[in-house]
Amino acid sequence: MKTILITGTSSGYGLETARHFLAQNWSVIATMRTPRADILPSSPNLRILPLDVTDEASIAAAIAAAGPIDALVNNAGIGVVGAFEATPMAHIRKVLDANTFGVMAMAQAVIPQMRARRSGVIVNVTSSATLAPMPLAAAYTASKQAIEGFTGSLAHELAHFGISAKLVEPGYAPTTRFAQNTSVKVEDLIPEAYADFAAPIFAQFAQPALTTKETDVAEAVWAAVNDATGTLRFPAGQDAVALFRAA
C-alpha cells in the first residue's frame, strides 16, 4: 500500500484530497496545524499528524513520525486579497512563508528518503492566478508563481533519481476558506481610493461564470500523483482549465 502525506487537510482542497486517496485505498497521512479526527472518515489507513509548514521543528517531527512517503502533496497555504499598496509587509512575509518557503521546506525534508529509494512524487498546489494576471492578488500570486518556477526546475533535477515534481493549479472555489484563512480582513486591504476599482471585481467573484470544486482539485492531485507521461501542470476546475488553454 502506498503512502501519501498531505499538508493543510483541515478544510477545502486538502481535506477532499485526503478523502479521495483514502477511498482509493492509499495510506493517508493528513496533516494540519490543529489535528481534528472528526472531519475525516474513520479508517485504519489514516493517520493525522500536527504540522506547521512554517516551523522547522514541526516539519522535522512530522516527517520522522510519518516514515516512508511515496507522495507529498504541498497544499497548505494562506490567501490574501486586496490592494497591494494597503497590504502590510508583515502579512506579505507571512503569506510567502506559508505558500512559498513552507512548500520548499517540505520538499527538502522528503527528498532524501525519495532519492534513497529512487522513487516518489511531490505535488505542489498553486493557483490559476499563475496562469493569467489577476487584480487584487499581487502578493498571493507572487507566492504561488515562485512555486511554479521552483517546481519546473525541481522536476528536472529530481528526474535523475526517479522522482517526479508536479503542479496542480486550482481555479476559484467560492466554498473554500481562501479569504478566511488569513489574519487580515479583505475590507481592511481596500482603501477608499480603490473602492470603485474593486467593486466590479468583487461582484464578479460573487457570481463567477466558472468555478472550481474541491473534488476537481482532489481528482487533479490523483492524476498528478499517478501520471506517467511527464506532464508538469494539472489545471483543476473549469475556470482553471479555460485559463490554461488560453495561456
Q: By the 8 A CB rule, do 6 and 30 touch?
A: yes
Euclidean distance between CA atoms 170 and 80, whole angstroms: 16
Q: Could you tell me the maximum CA-CA distance found in the chain, to the nearest angstrom?
A: 56
- Where residue 25 falls (left for φ over 0; alpha for ψ -120 to 50; beta otherwise) is left
Euclidean distance between CA atoms 237 and 189, whole angstroms: 27
Instruction: Exactly one of 13, 140, 172, 194 is catalytic; name it.
Output: 140
C-alpha cell at 27: 495510506
Beta bridge partners of 164: 121
Q: Report how far apart, in Å, the C-alpha atoms of 50 and of each of 8, 10, 33, 35, 70 are.
A: 10, 11, 5, 6, 19
Catalytic-residue membership of 140: yes
Helix/strand/coil (H/E/C) assignment for every residue in 10-77 = CCHHHHHHHHHHHHCCCEEEEEECCCCCCCCCCCCCEEEEECCCCCHHHHHHHHHHHCCCCEEEECCC
Catalytic residue positions, numbered: 140
